[in-house]
Amino acid sequence: MVAVEQYLKPELASQIKRLDLRAQMIVRGFLQGMHSSPYHGFSAEFSEHRLYAHGDDPKDIDWQAYAKTERYYIKKHESETNITGYIVMDLSQSMDYTYRQQLTKFDYCVCLAAALSYLMLMQQDPIGLVTFDKKIRASVPPKSRRSQFGAMLSHLTKLKVSGETELKAPLMQLASMLRHRSLIMLMSDLLADVDLTLESIRMLKHAGHDVIVFHVLDEAEVEFPFDGLVQLHDPESGQSLSVNADDIGNEYRENIRQFRAQLKRGCNESKIDYVPLDTSMPYDKALTEYLVNRRSRF
């Protein structure tokens, strides 16, 4: 793998380098479990036997069958392609926010994307990148070679956030692009209409894709740690509003709780993984915990 420092500003490079062996092993096991078999490149199903013939690889001989029959049989396999992963990254202006954390929401997602890309490539699975705001802005075609990690990081770190958050149009566009069952890893603050967002995500699931939603908010968007008069600014609309934080704090936090609960409930109903995160959570720890919990369910 290329050195991440070649592409990343120092704070991002230090975050990505925090990937530890435990996290790598857990993600490796998780990705392996996405395949139909842990053998033969994680991607084959045993289908039938046939008699050994000249030119066959002796490594394919079924020695258990030989012990029973004293004849050499070959296991035939129906090969499937490795699962293809796509990091689907929100580029909207609201992703460029941080209150007091080192990383913006977008930076945090870059770290998540780097971790998952690196570990999918360890499994020799193709991984690609799609970026969007109100529509798909760019894509990096999925590949499984090691140089793909550097290519994706190079692309990610050159991106500029802009525009408004929308899920429906870009996800419909993504669905039309995909020709095979894929693993879609959506990373966004999801600051859009909840019903349309769920409809869009379910569309990918109903098309046969595995979907994981990483819902990334800033710590301040979750906790609302403000007092007295504050000026709230919407980076996407440009509108500002003066409010008394003491008056609206509890109502705001309840609204955020309900917002997340509605997304979680809607995803769970469609067997879509919903992962709520905020930027105060070390991304590698949060990712490890999620993968441990996922594997415990299967």
Run of H or E residues at 22: helix 21-33
Summarize pLDDT for 46-92 with one digit per residue, the tens.
345 667 776 677 877 888 777 777 778 776 543 344 689 999 999 99
- 12 vs 5: CA distance, rounded Å: 9
187's tokens: 């990373």
Mean pLDDT, the chain, whole residue set? 81
- pLDDT beyond 80 at 45: no
**8 Å CB contact between 85 and 140:** no
Q: What pLDDT band is residue 19 in, cutting at 50, 70 and 90?
A: low
- pLDDT beyond 60 at 20: no
Q: What pLDDT band is residue 41 in, cutting at 50, 70 and 90?
A: very low
Q: What pLDDT band is residue 15 in, cutting at 50, 70 and 90?
A: low
Which residues are CB-neighbours of 77 under 8 A, at least 6 positions away? 40, 44, 45, 46, 47
Which of 8-17, 74-83, 194-203 shows the lowest mean pLDDT across its residues?
A: 74-83
The pLDDT value given to residue 126:
92
- 45 vs 80: CA distance, rounded Å: 8
Query: Which residue's structure tokens are 């999918």?
Result: 120
Q: Averaged over 146-170, what is the pLDDT?
A: 85
Q: Averaged over 162-174, what is the pLDDT?
A: 89
Query: Which has the higher per-residue pLDDT, 167 or 6?
Result: 167
Percent of the chain with pLDDT over 70: 78
SS3 94: helix
The pLDDT value given to residue 259:
97
Query: Which has the higher per-residue pLDDT, 264 or 290?
Result: 264
The pLDDT value given to residue 204:
95
- pLDDT beyond 90 at 218: yes
Q: What pLDDT band is residue 42 in, cutting at 50, 70 and 90?
A: very low
Domains with residue ranges and CATH for the chain: 4-35+82-296 (3.40.50.410), 44-79 (no CATH)
The pLDDT value given to residue 80:
42
Summarize pLDDT for 220-265 with one digit per residue, the tens.
999 999 888 888 877 777 788 888 888 899 999 999 999 999 999 9
Percent of the chain with pLDDT over 90: 40
**8 Å CB contact between 206 and 272:** no
**8 Å CB contact between 190 and 215:** yes
The pLDDT value given to residue 81:
44
Q: What pLDDT band is residue 118 in, cutting at 50, 70 and 90?
A: confident
The pLDDT value given to residue 232:
82
Which of 14-23, 88-97, 99-108, 158-167 shows the lowest mean pLDDT across its residues?
A: 14-23
